[in-house]
Amino acid sequence: MASNYNVSVNETYKFSLLKTDVEKMDILQTEPSKYHILKNNQPFNAEVVAKDFHRKIYKVKVKSEVYEVAISDELDQQISRMGFSLGSTKNITEVLAPMPGLILEIRVKEGETVAEDTPLLILEAMKMENVLTSPREGVIKNISVKVGETVDKKQLLISYA
């Protein structure tokens, strides 16, 4: 069975490509994020100006227009058919201690809006400082620990609104 890709451009244009179609494309990489493309004997240049590898979304500039291109392969399509999505793993409402340790520093405040991967606090465990980061974007609802407090594994540290 040939590999199939579903492609969406600006969430408006949707089409499917076979892996063999992709292999036949006349595309030459000229720089790390720039490409020379030949389509229907017409040359043009394209540049990938932004990329989100986790969601497989790319912003591609052609001439002066920027297009958002989302690509899903067979695995992504199967996951979607099963009712799962990438976003579903981000419905986390609590941050629990991954191991027992000592709270050295708290870097956020209740009511603060944080982005994914924002440092929340530092937990010392086994003589190592571990920076715990936000698993998602959100608002800090409650901080259940204080600096200098020892915590147990799976103890609630922070909850989101």
80 and 113 in a common domain = no
Average pLDDT over residues 49-58: 86
**CATH number where 128 lies:** 2.40.50.100
Say which DSSP state 79 is in: H
Q: Both 49 and 100 in a single domain?
A: no
User: The tokens of 138 are what?
Assistant: 């959100």
What is the share, in percent, of the chain residues with pLDDT greater than 70?
Answer: 94
Q: How many domains does the chain have?
A: 2
Mean pLDDT, the chain, integer? 88
* SS3 of residue 131 by DSSP: strand
- Residue range 92-138, pLDDT digits in tens: 889 999 999 999 999 999 999 999 889 999 999 988 999 999 988 88
pLDDT digits over 59-101, tens only? Answer: 999 999 999 999 988 888 887 777 665 554 457 889 999 999 9
Residues 116 and 77 grouped into a single domain: no
100's CB contacts (< 8 A; 6+ apart) are 125, 150, 151, 152, 153
pLDDT for residue 3: 72
Question: Domain limits at 14?
Answer: 4-88
| Mean pLDDT score, 15-39 | 89
pTM: 0.50
Of the chain, the percentage scoring pLDDT greater than 90 comes to: 58
State whether 10 and 82 are in the same domain: yes
Q: Please check whether residues 154 and 108 belong to one and the same domain.
A: yes
Q: What is the pLDDT of residue 54?
A: 76
pLDDT score of 92: 82
First to last CA, the chain: 46
Distance CA 149, CA 24 (A): 61
- How far is the C-alpha of 99 from the C-alpha of 115, rounded, in Å? 23
Residue type, 87: G
Q: Which two tokens stand for residue 43?
A: 């040359």
